[in-house]
Structure 1
């Protein structure tokens, strides 16, 4: 009886983990597919250390997966009930990150893209701090995600001053 209950709990945990990681990852893949190509950026002359589009999109995918995993760790601890602001920061970071491709690559609003990068960075810092109080590992998983808006900012600067 006890082993069967654990099995059911484990299946629920895996399902919720799959949803927590899969949903932001799927949304990011959809965002990249719909808005992620930019001929101007791909063909412009840039220094070797500027990221190609595939590296930029890979960073977006990794960041969204890590954010989903860290949010799941917080959720498992009941952290979103104790600190609902943590959920808002997390959702804001994902939503802002998803808005960058359409704003910069489709609308061509490169200066607004810089504002979005700053917002994503600030939301991720808030996420990291609030997650860390609930689950230190979740807070640490957000740290590599801070490179993502910095990478987006680098691309934005090139597009603004090209």
Structure 2
């Protein structure tokens, strides 16, 4: 009789649905909380990496605009002659360069977030090349007053942007599309640069 009571108690303890449901719900709550914490940590890391990816090209563009942006207009060659009406004012040129830098930083972050730079280092090389060339254009044209060199730099930056567009599109189509306004802006800068040669 004692052995029957022991078996019955054990069976009742194991088969009791209230006890198993309570244990299962505690485990589910822990799992949900861990998943939520992991998502929050990933979101924080994602926001930090996005901030760095956008802040780096923007800070380079701001540095260029502050230290190398001309206060006299488009260099010494345009002082004697009037500039064409379609030349943007310098503040608009700087703001559009900043917008282009922002788009390129965002596009590069989208590629990086999907592991595109690790799988395809050529995309990273194109991005770094366009970053350096775009940063070099303003000091060359406005401070050194070398429009020939500026035109070559602008064309090389355009080539790097074409490479970025093709490589980024393979990894993330949205990132490839974000490069297109930057391509249009660089084309416009090349036309402005070409016109500066003949003024």
Offset of residue 38 of structure 1: 4.6
Describe how 1:75-86 pairs up with structure 2 within 5 A. 75-86=112-123
TM-score of the superposition, structure 1-length normalised?
0.95
Gaps of 5+ in 2: 1-33
**Quick one: higher RCO (CA 8 Å, sep 6+), 1 or 2?**
1
Q: How many residues align?
A: 162
User: CA deviation digits over 1:60-79, x for unaligned, max 9?
Assistant: 10111101000000001000
Offset of residue 40 of structure 1: 4.5
User: Which position in structure 1 is the counterpart of 2:161?
Assistant: 124
Higher mean displacement: 5-14 or 53-62 = 53-62
Give the CA RMSD over aligned residues: 1.3
Describe how 1:56-135 pairs up with structure 2 within 5 A. 56-135=93-172
Question: Residues of 2 paired with 1:38 and 1:89: CA distance?
Answer: 32
Question: Residues of 1 paired with 2:59 and 2:107: CA distance?
Answer: 16
1:35 has 2:72 as partner: no
1:5 has 2:5 as partner: no
1:50/1:154 contact within 8 Å kept: no
Is the radius of gyration larger for structure 1 or structure 2? 2
Change (3 A) 1:40 1:26: closer
